[in-house]
Amino acid sequence: MKVWVKLLIGSILGMTIGFLLPAESQAVNAAFEWLKELALGIGRYAVVPVLVFSLTIAVYELRMDDQFWRFVLKHFILITAASFFVIFSGIIVTMMFTPGRIPIVPNETSEIINIDPAANILEIFPSNMLSILGGSGIYLFPVCMFAFFLGMGLNYDRNYSKPVISLIDSLSRIFYHVASFFSEILGFILIVLSAYWAIRFGIVLEAKVFTGLIVLLGVFSIVLCFGILPLFLYLLKPKVNPWRILYGFLGPAIAALFSGDINFTIPVLQRHSKENFGIRRRSSTLSIALFSTFCRGGSAMVAAISFIVLIKSYSHIQISFIELFAIGFHSLLISFLLARHPGQGAFIALTALCFTYGGGEYRTWYLNLMPLSFYLIAIGTFIDVMLNAFGSYVLARTNGFIDEKNLVHYI
């Protein structure tokens, strides 16, 4: 059975269970909260080792071919362009089809998770670089930096590094297969995640408060990821069928929507890149690492849309073009700072917007969307992963790091 079919069946079963369970039961919600953490832990279990060893070899091989820095530059150009396009497209659509007003929802002030760039930078360079490998595996950028320096070090003198290169290459392949095993059982894991997703979604629908925003985000994300983004693939030479590429990435898309966690989708995305499209390790690993860290334009777009809807709900002042551009620019900057939050991207970005834009005038407005936070996170992560998937394919294709496979061999 195809991996994406397993994930789809698991999601449908989970949502069916979730809609049938009593949403008001505190015991049910507490149980599913625990099961969700367990499911996410299983999905992320092999991420750090496979990323460390695969990225180390990727850096080493690209350095050997004298392509590393040029390839990294292409990534950042594409990441910036894609994030800019997605964020401002979302803003334009919101101004054209503004959802209904969102009433003030009673909420107790909760603990705020701030974006702290200074603290995040300190975590990248601890006193002992090996301590990075013993971390929680949530913040992966320090892990990527460790792999970068290790990969650079392997180019020092091949007479000394050759045994280490062979060892790291073997470990990379071993942990890839370990991660592949977990991607095979994700269908069962998604039963839990989608059931809890459905429970919360049912509660939100019953409240009938956020219907307009739910429809706007849902419809636009589908049009963007299944319509607009695939059309850009027509620009590639030689010609490629964009719908075949879209089909090949259905698995990561489903996993992203119900998990809401970038790290959870990395093993799935890595496996689909290799086994569906033949993208070489040196390209796919570097692309997935950079896109997962810096390309959070989907989460930032969801935050920008939500913020504009909040402004229109609680203020009668017309939003000017300059203010829209400022909101978009703030969102773009925030998108580059979300690496520390792989599972809460869109809501963290919305919180940051409320705290930083307009001198903190909108400081507590994010609380009114807290009941919908899981949905905002899901849509943002879904778009982030689709940007990662399409971006990885485009860069591999245009740089010759791909061995095309027949559709019948897709997993």
- Region of residue 135 (phi > 0: left; psi between -120 and 50: alpha; otherwise: beta): beta
Nearest Cα to Cα of residue 47 among 292, 254, 257: 292
Contact 256, 235 (CB under 8 A): no
Beta bridge partners, 402, equal 279
Measure CA of the first residue to CA of the last residue in the chain; give whole Å. Answer: 8
**Could you report the per-residue pLDDT of 40-56, keeping only the tens digit for each?**
999 888 899 999 999 99
Hey, what are 283's tokens?
Answer: 């390209």
**Could you report the per-residue pLDDT of 335-371, keeping only the tens digit for each?**
999 988 888 889 999 998 888 876 666 777 888 888 8
How many domains does the chain contain in total? Answer: 1
Asked if residue 255 has pLDDT above 80, the reply is: yes
Report angle CA 273, 190, 21 to the nearest 5 degrees: 160
How many angstroms separate the CA atoms of 6 and 132, rounded?
A: 34
**Could you report the per-residue pLDDT of 270-313, keeping only the tens digit for each?**
999 888 888 898 999 999 999 999 999 999 999 999 999 988 88
The pLDDT-based confidence of 259 (bands split at 50, 70, 90) is: very high
Q: Considering the chain, what percentage of its residues have pLDDT values greater than 70?
A: 97
Over the chain, what is the mean pLDDT? 88
- Region of residue 233 (phi > 0: left; psi between -120 and 50: alpha; otherwise: beta): alpha
CATH number at residue 61: 1.10.3860.10
How many angstroms separate the CA atoms of 389 and 395, rounded?
A: 10
Residues in the chain: 411
Hey, what are 243's tokens?
Answer: 């719908």
Give the residue numbers spanning the domain of 205.
3-409
Coil, strand or helix at 113? coil
- Per-residue pLDDT, 100: 78
* Beta-sheet strands, E only, within 101-182: none
- Per-residue pLDDT, 111: 55
